[in-house]
A and B are shown apart, each in its own frame.
Chain A
Amino acid sequence: MDKQRIHTDPKHYSWLTERFSPPSPVAPCLLRSFWVGGLICVLAQLITDTGTCWLKMTARDASSLSSIVLVFLTALLTGLGVFDKLGKYAGAGTFVPITGFANAMVSPALEFRREGLVLGLGAKLFSIAGPVLVYGVGSSVVYGLIYALFIR
C-alpha cells in the first residue's frame, strides 16, 4: 500500500463520519418545541377569544386579529434581536406557527437593508419565505381545482 496517499473508501468514511458526529438531542428539542409552540397557540387562542367575546367580532375577524397580533409581536421581537434566541431554543415550536413566517420575512429585511431598498431589502425579502409562498399558493390552486371539479 502506498503510504503517501490516503486510502479510505468513501463508504467506510461515511460510516465513520456517522459514528463520530454527535446526534441532535431529539428528546429535549421536541419537549422545548412542544411547550413553546403550544404556548404560542394558547396565546393565539386567547387573542381570538378576546376578539369574539369582548370585542364582539365575528370568528373570521377574530382569527385575523390573532394573526396580525402574532406577526406584529414576532416582527418586534426579531427587530429587538430576541426572536433568534427564542427560535434557537424552541426550533419548530416558533417556526411552524405564523411566528416563523413573520420571522422569515423580517430577518432578511433587516439583514439586507444595507444593500439598498430595492436590490437589498426588496429583492431579499422573500428569500426564505418565498418557497413557502410559491408552493403554498401553488398547492392551494391545485386543491381548489380538485374541489371545484369533483367535490362540489
Chain B
Amino acid sequence: MASKRIGLQTIELPLRPAITGCAACVGRKEGEGPLGEYFDFVAKDEMVGQETFELAEKQLYLDAIRKAISKGGSRPEEVQFLLGGDLLNQIITASFSARDLGIPFIGLYGACSTMAESLALGSMLLDGEHASQIVCAASSHFCTAERQYRYPLEFGTQRSPTAQWTVTGAGASLLNLSPAVPALAHVTQVCLGRVVDLGITDANNMGAAMAPAAADTLLAFFADTHTQPEDYDLIVTGDLGQVGHDLLMQLMREQRQPLPGDRYTDCGLLIYDRKAQDVHAGGSGCGCSASVLNAWLLPMLQRREIRRMLFMATGALMSLTSSQQGESIPGIAHAVLLESP
C-alpha cells in the first residue's frame, strides 16, 4: 500500500531528493532590508527595466529560475518540470515564465504557501522517480498585488498596523535526484496541510487568518512523526508577520506543544527591518518565503549551521470576490523538512 506515508498527513521521502541550486531575485526595498546582501539580484526599481509591473515580476521570476538552474550545475533543457505559481489572477507570472523557458509546466496556486507546496510536490515527484530534475519557484510583486487586491499605488490611504507589506521578489530551487554537484540540503519529509478557517474576515490581518492553519499542520506533523518542536533546529513559517507569529506561539502553547522562541521565526519578520522600513506587521506574499528560503535559509543548511529545518509556508486562500461577499479567510500551510547534507 502507500508505504511512504507516515500517520495521517506526512510523507517520508526515502530517496532524499537534493536541492542543488537556489536563487532569489528581489526588489529595491527588500535589498535595503537586513538580508539585502544575500540576494542574488536586487533590482534598482520596481519596474526591473520592463514596461509593466507584471512584466517586472515575470523578469524576477525568470532570473531566479535561470540562476537556480545554473547554480545547481544544470541547464534548462535538462530540467523535466517547472512547478510554480504566484499571486496574480490565473498565475500569469508562472505560466508566462514557463512559456519563455520551455520546461514542462505544472502551475500551482497555494497563495503564499506556493514555495512549500511546489517543493513538497516536486520532491514527491522525484521520490516517485517520475523525474530526475525539477525546478520549483514562487514570486510576488508589491505593485502587481496592490493593484489586484487593494488600491492604486498613488491612492493616499493609511494601512492598519496588522497589515503586511507584499514582498517584491522571486525565489527558485532546483531539485535533483542524483546530483553531480554537492547538495545544499535534502528534502526528507513533507506534510501537506488542510484548509483551516477560524472565521477571520479582516483582509488586513492575514497573519491572524493563517496562523490556525500553521498550527494545524505543525500538530499533524509532530503527531505523525512522533517528534516535538525541540527536535528541530529551526522552524520557519512563511509570512505570518508579527501578529500571526504571536498567535501561532499562543495556539501552540494552548495545544501544550509550545514552540521554543529561539528556534521559531517567520520569513515575514526576517526580510524587513519592521521599524525602519515601515512595513507594519512584516512581509507577505509568495515571494516572501521564496526569497528568504533561497537566499538565507538554504545556505545556512549548506554551511551546516543548522541541521534540521522545518520550512512551512502559509497561504490565505481568499479572493477579492470572496472578501467582498463577506466570506471568512481560509488558511493553508504546507511543511517541508529540510536536512543539511
Chain B interface helix/strand/loop/mixed = loop
Do B246 and A83 touch (CB < 8 A)? no
Shortest beta-carbon distance, A27 to chain B, in Å?
14
Q: Is B198 an interface residue (CB 8 A)?
A: yes
Shortest beta-carbon distance, A31 to chain B, in Å?
14
Do A17 and B200 touch (CB < 8 A)? yes
Cβ of B98: which chain A residues have Cβ within 8 Å of it? none
Shortest beta-carbon distance, A73 to chain B, in Å?
13
Chain A interface helix/strand/loop/mixed = helix
> Please, how many angstroms separate the alpha-carbon atoms of A78 and B200 in the complex?
34
Q: Which residue of B lies closest to A14 (CB)?
A: B199
A contact residues, total (Cβ < 8 Å): 42
Stretch from A50-58, A105-113, A131-139 at the B interface:
A105-113
Stretch from B31-39, B77-85, B149-157, B287-295 at the A interface:
B149-157
Shortest beta-carbon distance, B45 to chain A, in Å?
12
Do A111 and B212 touch (CB < 8 A)? no
Q: Which of B154, B243, B251 has a CB less than 8 Å from the CB of A81? A: B154
Q: Which of A14, A84, A104 has a CB less than 8 Å from the CB of B153? A: A84
Do A110 and B154 touch (CB < 8 A)? yes
Q: Which of B153, B212, B243 has a CB less than 8 Å from the CB of A8? A: B212
Q: Is B341 an interface residue (CB 8 A)?
A: no
Q: Is A126 an interface residue (CB 8 A)?
A: no
Cβ of B222: which chain A residues have Cβ within 8 Å of it? 3
Do B215 and A78 touch (CB < 8 A)? no
Q: Is B52 an interface residue (CB 8 A)?
A: yes
List residues of B (155-186) whose CB comes within 8 Å of A's CBs: 155-162
> Please, how many angstroms separate the alpha-carbon atoms of A23 and B160 in the complex?
8
16 contacts between A and B (CB under 8 A): A3-B219, A6-B251, A10-B199, A16-B250, A21-B205, A24-B161, A87-B157, A87-B158, A91-B158, A94-B156, A106-B154, A107-B151, A107-B152, A107-B153, A110-B152, A110-B154
Q: With contacts A3-B219, A6-B196, A13-B212 known, what are 18 further pairs, Cβ within 8 A?
A: A4-B219, A4-B220, A6-B255, A10-B198, A13-B198, A16-B251, A22-B162, A22-B243, A83-B154, A83-B156, A87-B155, A87-B157, A88-B157, A88-B159, A95-B156, A95-B157, A111-B153, A112-B147
